[in-house]
Amino acid sequence: MHLAVEPSILYFGTPVVLVSTLNEDSTPNLAPFSSAFWLGWRCLLGMATSSKTAGNLARTRQCAVNLPCAAQVAEVNRLALTTGLSPVPPHKEARGYRYRPDKFGAAGMTPVPSETIGPPRAAECPVHLECVLETAHPVAGDDERLSGRISCFELRVQRVHVDDSLLAHDDPDRIDPDKWRPLIMSFQRFYGLGAELADSRLASIPERMYRSPDIERARASRAVAHRSG
């Protein structure tokens, strides 16, 4: 029997990402998000426009999206209820947030240089995506109480770094889903993935048929950067 209910949140389960950006003084910020999904080589991140990450991203138009695995739940949890904003905004203070200027240190992670952007990557995460901001899509602009408070940031991926233990043995450009175990957040709680349930009909389509033109664009930009360097 289905019942009509009014849940306060509708987080049915999405992967956790750690987004690194650069502060005004060029120090790195690192923040966890669970409103993330991908279309081709585009990453969509939803966040409050008042967050430190949103401000840094709007200013520099660059970020690294780091994907932790399920085994790194403790490191991610250390970043919970921390903010790079000082003073702490009242709405965050009411929820228990505290100011931590060294977010990498708080998580126990190591910043390493990126190849195409300024913000560093989180060395311990198995997957790093170097991204540039293409545009920000306002969310809930039809409601004056929410207008301007939430945006979906559209990022274009320029470089992908993956731990070699996750790659398919027969294709160095393909991630083996049996080896990749992302950290999932569902209704404010952490989960991992279980075993594969069944063969998917979609899996019969070769992944290369989904290749995005953004891959060639990323290659071209890296080649230009290499010649300039």
Structure tokens at 75: 């490191």
Q: What is the pTM of this model?
A: 0.93
> Domains in the chain, please, with CATH?
14-228 (2.30.110.10)
Q: Which helix (H) or strand (E) holds 12?
A: none
Euclidean distance between CA atoms 109 and 89, whole angstroms: 26
Euclidean distance between CA atoms 162 and 178, whole angstroms: 15
Q: What is the pLDDT along the chain (229 residues), one digit of tens a residue?
A: 999 999 999 999 999 999 999 999 999 999 999 999 999 999 999 999 999 999 999 999 999 999 999 999 999 999 999 999 999 999 999 999 999 999 999 999 999 999 999 999 999 999 999 999 999 999 999 999 999 999 999 999 999 999 999 999 999 999 999 999 999 999 999 999 998 899 898 889 989 899 999 999 998 887 776 666 6
Q: Determine the Cα angle at 110 with ends 107 and 111, to 5°.
A: 110
Q: How far is CA 67 from the centre of its chain?
A: 7
